[in-house]
Amino acid sequence: MDQPVAGETLVEQPVKFYQTGTFTVGNRLLSETERSVQADMDRTNSLNSGHRACQGCGEALGARYAIDAAMRATGNKLIAVNATGCLEVFSTPYPETSWQIPWLHSLFGNAAAVASGVAAAQRALGRRDVRVIAQGGDGGTTDIGFGCLSGMFERNDDVLYICYDNEAYMNTGVQRSSATPPAARTATTPAVGETPGNVFGTGKNVPLIAMAHRIPYVATASVASLRDLERKVTVAMAIEGSRYIHIHVPCPLGWGSAPQDTIRVARLAVESGLFPLFEARHGEVTARTPIRSRVPVTEYLKLQKRFAHLFGNPPQSERIAAIQAIADRNIAEFGLNDS
């Protein structure tokens, strides 16, 4: 902040666009309301150090922020159920664990159902203060666990389900899921042939499907905006009934991005329009994050080897334009223009 000269009043500048993971941003001390849960010395470190995630793992980062925020919001009365997947495997190689909360490993496909059962058991015990989270990767959520998830939504069970979307089955070697984007190379959508990578026009949008169940709260979030992620988890924990948060988490190993670029890649997904950030209540969009500095999708795609075949000689301009059209449609549909 500029020093005031004689006769001038000191005007505080609002902090707008920076990550606020500590007490300060730039050379300014943040007000208490702007400090993140992670900036708090009393954070729970629910997902503690010593786990085996890859360098730059977006899923580890997202889970740490999400669960610490949920712990703060519930006064540390939280139980987490975890589907099989990277988050479970890197955090809990038997007999060790990095979790410092009551934590259950379910099967790959039934985390939502197990969490519903845990919530029902707490209710039967009269422990309405104890809250429940289910969490898993996109494969465990949008594919194999989808039936259990839809059932949980339909019954409006008192669970927050968090999907960490790294856009493929990473734990078993990067196979395609129904969250894998068009053109992406995975082990099952190889970069060969006339239309290399994942085919266009497939997959499903689970946040929109969750909204169609008209559950109390649905949100998308990104590790590009950790403060916003913490806020959405906090909002969700104050609501009863089914809630769903879908977090975009880059995976350096599966995406072929540099570990130090995880936040950059996540931010470009948001700022290109490929990953819209919004909140919805009872099926209606109630808030969205406008894009402040729009970038073409090529800025995002070029940082990832899974899209390298699009930029050969000659580049696959039509397919890049088709991806740009998806981003343009998102921006129009969710009203993300910052104007």
Ligand X SMILES: Cc1ncc(C[n+]2csc(CCOP(=O)(O)OP(=O)(O)O)c2C)c(N)n1
Binding-site ranges for ligand SF4 (CB under 6 A): 53-54, 57, 59, 86, 90, 166, 170, 251-254
62 touching ligand X, by CB under 6 A: no
If the CB atoms of residues 209 and 253 are measured against ligand SF4, the closer one turns out to be: 253
Q: Residue 241's CB: how many other CB atoms inside 10 A?
A: 15
Query: HSE-up of 92 (CA within 13 Å, CB side)?
Result: 18
Give min distance, CB of 249 to ligand X, in A. 8
Q: Number of residues in contact with ligand X, rule: CB under 6 A?
A: 18
**Nearest distance, CB of residue 159 and ligand X, angstroms:** 18
Tell me which of ligand X, ligand SF4, none is bound by residue 108, counting a contact when its beta carbon lies within the kind-specific cut-off of 5 to 8 angstroms: ligand X
Strand partners, 99: 47
CB of 136 to ligand X, least distance (A): 6
Name residues whose C-beta falls within 8 Å of residue 103's C-beta, 6 or more positions apart in sequence: 79, 80, 81, 82, 92, 97
Stretches 130-138, 200-208, 267-275, 321-329: which one binds ligand X (CB under 6 A)?
130-138
Cα separation of 157 and 143, whole Å? 20
Select the residue whose beta carbon is closest to ligand X and give its number.
137
Stretch that binds ligand X, among 13-21, 78-86, 208-216, 283-291 (CB under 6 A): 78-86
Please say which residue, 136 or 197, places its beta carbon nearer to ligand SF4: 136
Residues 104-123 that bind ligand X (CB under 6 A): 108-109
Restricted to residues 153-192, the positions that interact with ligand X (CB under 6 A) are 166, 169-172, 177
Q: For the CA atoms of 207, 212, 216, 219, what is the dihedral angle to 10 degrees?
A: 20
How many other β-carbons are positioned within 10 Å of the β-carbon of residue 265? Answer: 24
Please report how the helices 146-155 and 111-124 are oriented relative to each other, as an axis angle in degrees rounded to 10: 30
- C-alpha span between 212 and 300 (Å, rounded): 30
**Residue 251 Cβ, how far from ligand X at the closest point, in Å?**
7
Phi, psi of 310 (to 5 degrees): -75, -20
- Residue 24 site contact among ligand X, ligand SF4, none (CB < 5 to 8 Å, cut-off depends on kind): none
